[in-house]
């Protein structure tokens, strides 16, 4: 497989952009090698600048649940763009998308559109702090809620309960109100509530973790968070930027039947264009300006192109489509498990709906520590063996794979054929 043009472009890109990319994971640092420069996408396929074709399981990090350049989305965008790209004024399109989302998420009584998931979590937590008059936020180790300063926190060591900055440039004062607990560890959460009575404004959680690989909530975990937050007067914020419209029509909250106070959305609701949104109880959302005292604004928020692509995408998401996603993803997960076993490679495969990941380990994976302890070198080898065979996986063992509606039985079968060879390559070792 030739990557000459990608190599040339990557070399040049590194001279003008940090790491040659606009977002770090794209640089392939976790797997090594040269990121492919993408020329176009269609359906389940990505095409790179060297003319290679890949079956894509990244799907723009989960945004493209219909696959690339879906005709309905392209048509909606074409129609919208003729009417203008941005007005900085209310539109019918944004109202329609808001109503559509509220219909799917009963916990969302009111919603505000923003431009990214980062803005959604940052703003939702500002509302939570305003509503409770408390400062502290509890998040989980290995979660990703975007790159707002106060959410770039990692767990302190030992008995330290304060968050430590997870990035240079984040002053420790910015994260001193951010508490960090291991995912799936209710006792740790309960202990933090005991230790900081009446100080925790909100618990923010990915109801299915998707940024440490896919780690589902243990039975009772989300229910426990709901109970603890209620009991201690804190808000429960679901970050459904990935899971919203992904794991089912009503997101993870629909799947597990838990009602959070606030929800963050992004990715799928923009149909591949920049977007984010936060919403929830009307009394909380009415704290947001211009109704309430919480300031939050955006020049391009609710822009007509994102609204059009989002609406066109959500229109396609029928029960039949979710059923099909479920079946294809199950087929893929089962096939991968069988292929790994055949090659004698121990793996743990996690799947919730059409999001899944393959951990190279024999041990149980329940949180960031166990996800990080898996064999990353094996993942890197597997990744390249698949890429060479025309299958584009996330270039990191701690990112989710996404099956889209464009993946057919034939794509899955071809992926599994490649996987049987790739697992054998992993079993043989070496590079
Ligand atoms: C992608 C993601 C975000 C951030 O969204 P951006 O649009 O990249 O800012 C936040 N939370 C979760 C769970 C995500 O996966």
Q: How confident is the model at residue 376 (pLDDT cuts 50, 70, 90)?
A: very high
pLDDT (0 to 100) of residue 232: 98
pLDDT (0 to 100) of residue 115: 98
Q: Return the ligand 1 atom nearest residue 117 CA.
A: 5
- Check whether residue 280 and residue 148 sit in a common domain: yes
Q: Among this protein's residues, is 239 annotated catalytic?
A: yes
- Check whether residue 75 and residue 44 sit in a common domain: no
In angstroms, the CA 333 to CA 327 distance is 10
In angstroms, the CA 116 to CA 275 distance is 5
Residue where one domain finishes, among candidates 279, 295, 315: 315
How remote is the CA of residue 118 from the centroid of ligand 1, in Å? 6
Q: How confident is the model at residue 429 (pLDDT cuts 50, 70, 90)?
A: confident
In angstroms, the CA 222 to CA 184 distance is 8
* Residue 38 pLDDT > 90: yes
Q: What CATH number has the domain bearing residue 158?
A: 3.40.640.10
- Check whether residue 323 and residue 420 sit in a common domain: yes
- Check whether residue 170 and residue 107 sit in a common domain: yes
Residue 45 Rama label (left phi>0; alpha psi -120 to 50; beta) = beta
Count of C-beta atoms within a 10 Å radius of residue 334: 14
Q: What token pair was written down for 165?
A: 């900055």
How remote is the CA of residue 324 from the centroid of ligand 1, in Å? 25
Q: What is the mean pLDDT of residues 51-79?
A: 98
Closest CA to 86 of 380, 301, 236: 301
* Residue 85 pLDDT > 70: yes
Q: How confident is the model at residue 231 (pLDDT cuts 50, 70, 90)?
A: very high
How remote is the CA of residue 276 from the centroid of ligand 1, in Å? 8
Residue where one domain finishes, among candidates 315, 348, 377: 315
- Check whether residue 118 and residue 42 sit in a common domain: no
pLDDT (0 to 100) of residue 1: 79
Q: What CATH number has the domain bearing residue 388?
A: 3.90.1150.10
Q: Return the ligand 1 atom nearest residue 118 CA.
A: 9
- Check whether residue 23 and residue 76 sit in a common domain: no
- One of 54, 144, 322, 392 is an active-site residue; which one? 144
How remote is the CA of residue 348 from the centroid of ligand 1, in Å? 25
Question: Where do the DSSP E strands lie in 67-175?
Answer: 110-114, 136-140, 153-154, 164-165
pTM (2 decimals)? 0.98
- Check whether residue 139 and residue 129 sit in a common domain: yes
Whole-number mean pLDDT of the chain?
97
* Residue 161 pLDDT > 90: no
Which residues are within 8 A (CB) of 21 and not within 5 positions of it... i.e. 6 or more apart? Answer: 13, 27, 35
Q: What is the mean pLDDT of residues 274-286?
A: 98
Nearest-CA residue for ligand 1 atom 14 is: 241
Nearest-CA residue for ligand 1 atom 8 is: 117
In angstroms, the CA 157 to CA 143 distance is 17
b/e 389-403 (16+ beta carbons within 10 angstroms → b): bbbbbbbbbbbbbbb
Angle at 255 between CA 391 and CA 201, to 5 degrees: 105
Q: Among this protein's residues, is 45 annotated catalytic?
A: no
In a mutational test of the pocket of ligand 1, which residue from 241, 270, 275 has the highest number of ligand atoms less than 8 Å from its CB? 241
Q: How confident is the model at residue 430 (pLDDT cuts 50, 70, 90)?
A: low
Q: Among this protein's residues, is 267 annotated catalytic?
A: yes
- Check whether residue 93 and residue 183 sit in a common domain: yes
Backbone angles phi, psi at 215, to 5 degrees: -125, 110
* Residue 158 pLDDT > 70: no
Largest CA distance in the chain: 63
Q: What token pair was written down for 272?
A: 């591949």
Query: Would you list the DSSP string of 2-55?
Result: --HHHHHHHHHHHHHSGGGSSSGGGG-TTT-SPPPPEEEEEBTEEEETTS-EEE
How remote is the CA of residue 144 from the centroid of ligand 1, in Å? 7
* Residue 160 pLDDT > 60: no
* Residue 410 pLDDT > 90: yes
Please say whether the beta carbons of 69 and 405 come within 8 A. no
Residue where one domain finishes, among candidates 315, 349, 372: 315
How remote is the CA of residue 266 from the centroid of ligand 1, in Å? 7
In a mutational test of the pocket of ligand 1, which residue from 23, 117, 142 has the highest number of ligand atoms less than 8 Å from its CB? 117
Q: What is the pLDDT of residues 287-342, one digit of tens each?
A: 999 999 999 999 999 999 999 999 999 999 999 999 999 999 999 999 999 999 99
pLDDT (0 to 100) of residue 169: 96
Which residues are within 8 A (CB) of 339 and not within 5 positions of it... i.e. 6 or more apart? Answer: 416, 419, 420, 423
Q: What is the mean pLDDT of residues 13-32?
A: 97
Q: What is the mean pLDDT of residues 258-283?
A: 98
Please say whether the beta carbons of 320 and 329 come within 8 A. no
> Chain centroid to CA 159: how far?
30
Angle at 209 between CA 204 and CA 212, to 5 degrees: 115
Which residues are within 8 A (CB) of 258 and not within 5 positions of it... i.e. 6 or more apart? Answer: 207, 222, 223, 226, 236, 238, 252
- One of 48, 57, 267, 392 is an active-site residue; which one? 267
Q: Residue 105, class by beta-carbon neighbours within 10 Å (0-12 exposed, 13-18 middle, 19+ buried)? A: buried
- One of 48, 177, 239, 261 is an active-site residue; which one? 239
Q: What is the pLDDT of residues 241-257, one digit of tens each?
A: 999 999 999 999 999 99
Share of the chain above pLDDT 70, in %: 98
Count of C-beta atoms within a 10 Å radius of residue 46: 23
In angstroms, the CA 101 to CA 120 distance is 15
In angstroms, the CA 294 to CA 288 distance is 5
> Which residue ranges have their beta carbon within 6 Å of ligand 1?
116-118, 121, 144-146, 206, 210-211, 239, 241-242, 266, 276
* Residue 217 pLDDT > 80: yes
- Check whether residue 326 and residue 275 sit in a common domain: no
- Check whether residue 37 and residue 18 sit in a common domain: yes
For residue 226, what are the domain limits? 71-315
Q: Return the ligand 1 atom nearest residue 276 CA.
A: 7
Tell me how many domains the chain contains. Answer: 2
* Residue 431 pLDDT > 60: no
Give the count of alpha carbons within 13 A of 135, CB side only: 9
Nearest-CA residue for ligand 1 atom 11 is: 145
- Check whether residue 294 and residue 185 sit in a common domain: yes
- Check whether residue 380 and residue 234 sit in a common domain: no
Count of C-beta atoms within a 10 Å radius of residue 167: 11
Starting at the edge strand found earlier in the chain, the sheet holding 355-359 runs: 348-352, 355-359, 401-402
Q: How confident is the model at residue 162 (pLDDT cuts 50, 70, 90)?
A: confident
Q: How confident is the model at residue 157 (pLDDT cuts 50, 70, 90)?
A: low
């Amino acid at each position: 497989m030739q990557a000459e043009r990608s190599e040339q472009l990557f070399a040049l890109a590194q001279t003008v952009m940090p790491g040659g990319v606009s977002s770090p994971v794209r640089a392939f640092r976790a797997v090594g090698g040269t990121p492919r420069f993408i020329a176009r996408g269609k359906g389940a396929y990505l095409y790179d600048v060297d003319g290679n074709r890949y079956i894509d399981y990244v799907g723009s990090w989960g945004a493209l649940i219909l696959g690339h350049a879906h005709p309905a989305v392209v048509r909606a965008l074409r129609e919208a763009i003729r009417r203008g790209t941005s007005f900085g004024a209310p539109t019918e399109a944004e109202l329609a998308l808001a109503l559509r989302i509220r219909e799917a998420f009963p916990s969302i009584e009111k919603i505000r559109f923003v431009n990214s998931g980062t803005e959604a979590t940052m703003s939702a937590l500002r509302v939570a702090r305003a509503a409770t008059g408390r400062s502290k936020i509890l998040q989980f180790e290995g979660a990703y809620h975007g790159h707002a300063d106060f959410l770039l926190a990692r767990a302190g060591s030992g008995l330290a309960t304060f968050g430590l900055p997870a990035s240079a440039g984040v002053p420790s004062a910015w994260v001193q109100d951010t508490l960090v607990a291991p995912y799936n560890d209710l006792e740790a959460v309960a202990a933090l509530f005991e230790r900081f009575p009446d100080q925790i404004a909100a618990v923010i959680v990915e109801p299915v973790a998707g940024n440490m690989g896919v780690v589902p909530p243990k039975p009772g975990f989300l229910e426990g968070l709901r109970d603890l937050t209620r009991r201690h007067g804190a808000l429960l914020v679901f970050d459904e930027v990935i899971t919203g419209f992904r794991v089912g029509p009503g997101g993870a909250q629909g799947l597990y039947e838990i009602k959070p106070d606030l929800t963050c959305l992004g990715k799928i609701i923009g149909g591949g264009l920049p977007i984010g949104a936060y919403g929830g109880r009307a009394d909380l959302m009415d704290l947001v300006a211009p109704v309430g005292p919480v300031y939050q604004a955006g020049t391009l928020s609710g822009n007509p192109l994102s609204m059009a692509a989002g609406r066109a995408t959500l229109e396609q998401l029928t029960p039949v489509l979710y059923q099909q996603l479920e079946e294809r993803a199950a087929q893929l997960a089962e096939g991968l498990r069988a292929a790994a076993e055949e090659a004698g490679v121990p793996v743990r495969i996690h799947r919730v709906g059409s999001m899944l990941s393959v951990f190279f380990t024999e041990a149980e994976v329940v949180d960031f520590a166990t996800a990080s302890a898996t064999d990353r070198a094996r993942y890197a080898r597997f990744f390249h063996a698949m890429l060479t065979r025309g299958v584009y996986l996330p270039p990191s063992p701690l990112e989710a794979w996404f099956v889209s509606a464009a993946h057919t039985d034939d794509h899955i079968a071809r992926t599994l054929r490649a996987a049987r060879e790739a697992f054998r390559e992993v079993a043989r070792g070496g590079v």
